[in-house]
Structure 1
Amino acid sequence: MRPVRLILVAIATLVFSWQLAAAPAAAVDVDEAYRLIKINPAGETAVISNADLEHGKRLFNDTCSQCHMAGRTKTNPNITLRLEDLEGAEPPLDNVAALVDYANSPTSYDGELDLSDLHPSTKRADLWPEMRSYTQDDLRDIAGYILVQPKLQGYMWGGGKTVN
């Protein structure tokens, strides 16, 4: 009798864990204050919708997180996706328009070198097939996610704790 019970428990556990894995991820629902982001170099701001934020998160996790896990930069750990690092780039990458421009045609941190052959971009989608299907709206959602994410975590992009 005991082996039958163990088998039933094992089957129930497998079915339950399969249902958890198959369940859709919880929808992103973030307060508007956290979703306020800078949209261009002039400092204009807008609130990204929860749907766009969720879409940006999914795309970031699918593609960008390969090299930017938790906001770190695999190829150069000294430069992260922290706002301070984004502000320090030339031109600053602390807004949606600049991040979209970067995804289209990336440059070095000092803005001097074209990195299209080294960093995924729409400019060189022939080298970066994951970028082929991304629209400008997709890139805007990813940029929005990059700018909002540090506000949502208990830590900043690239490690360390936020100052709240």
Structure 2
Amino acid sequence: MFKKFFSLFLASFLLFSNILGPVAFAVELDEATRTIPLDNTGKTTILSAEQVKRGKRLFNVSCGQCHVGGITKTNPNLGLDTEALSLATPSRNSITGLVDYMKNPTTYDGLESIAEIHPSIKSADIFPRMRSLSEEDLVSIAGHILLQPKVIAEKWGGGKIYF
């Protein structure tokens, strides 16, 4: 019985580890890696180890169902990789850009609101998991999204070839 349980546990662990790719802990990340764009003027911010851990946890709970590994399940052509975020209108490749998007999501060209179909603070009545997120939580989630290309490189947003 124990041998069967242990084998199942080990197989689950290996599968889970492989899906998530290499794990980097916040304490292992140097300051340069934790430095990310704050806004589109060139200002940067350094994420604390707590923000890194919190951002990962909140992303997995609030966003991970549709954006596992930085992809977008509902539209595989648009991921959360740096290039895709920078080409959106308005640009979403900074903390302020992503926080603004999580409050009031718009189409990639920025012309129409998609709050009724994308979880956001604006649509918290439709998406209950968004109700409890504070401004600090949104900053941590945005930090996680912007940090991942530095940690797992092309795997973030790489899609089926990695996950």
TM, length-normalised to structure 2: 0.81
Q: Give CA deviations for 1:43-100 in whole Å, capped at 9, x if unaligned.
A: 2001101110110000001120110010001111111011000000001000000100
Equivalent pair of 2:24/2:151 in contact (CA under 8 Å): no
Larger Rg: 1
Equivalent residue of 1:46, what SS? Answer: strand
Partner of 2:118: 119
TM, length-normalised to structure 1: 0.81
Partner of 2:18: none
Partner of 2:26: 28
Equivalent pair of 1:59/1:142 in contact (CA under 8 Å): yes
Q: Unmatched 5+ residue regions in structure 1?
A: 1-6
Partner of 1:57: 56
**In 2, Cα distance between equivalents of 1:116 and 1:53:** 26
**In 1, Cα distance between equivalents of 2:145 and 2:25:** 17
Partner of 1:67: 66
Partner of 2:47: 48
Higher percent of residues as helix: 2
Q: What letter corresponds to residue 96 of structure 1 in structure 2?
A: I
* Matched positions, count: 145
**In 2, Cα distance between equivalents of 1:27 and 1:37:** 17
Q: Give CA deviations for 1:116-142 in whole Å, capped at 9, x if unaligned.
A: 001000101000000000001000000
Q: What letter corresponds to residue 101 of structure 1 in structure 2?
A: D
Q: Give CA deviations for 1:26-47 in whole Å, capped at 9, x if unaligned.
A: 9532111111100012120011
List structure 1 runs of 4+ shifted beyond 6 angstroms.
Answer: none
Partner of 1:132: 131
**Identical residues among aligned pairs (%):** 44
Partner of 2:109: 110
| CA positional deviation for 1:155 | 3.1
Q: Give CA deviations for 1:135-156 in whole Å, capped at 9, x if unaligned.
A: 0100000000000011111533
Cα RMSD of the aligned pairs, angstroms, is 2.3
Partner of 1:4: none
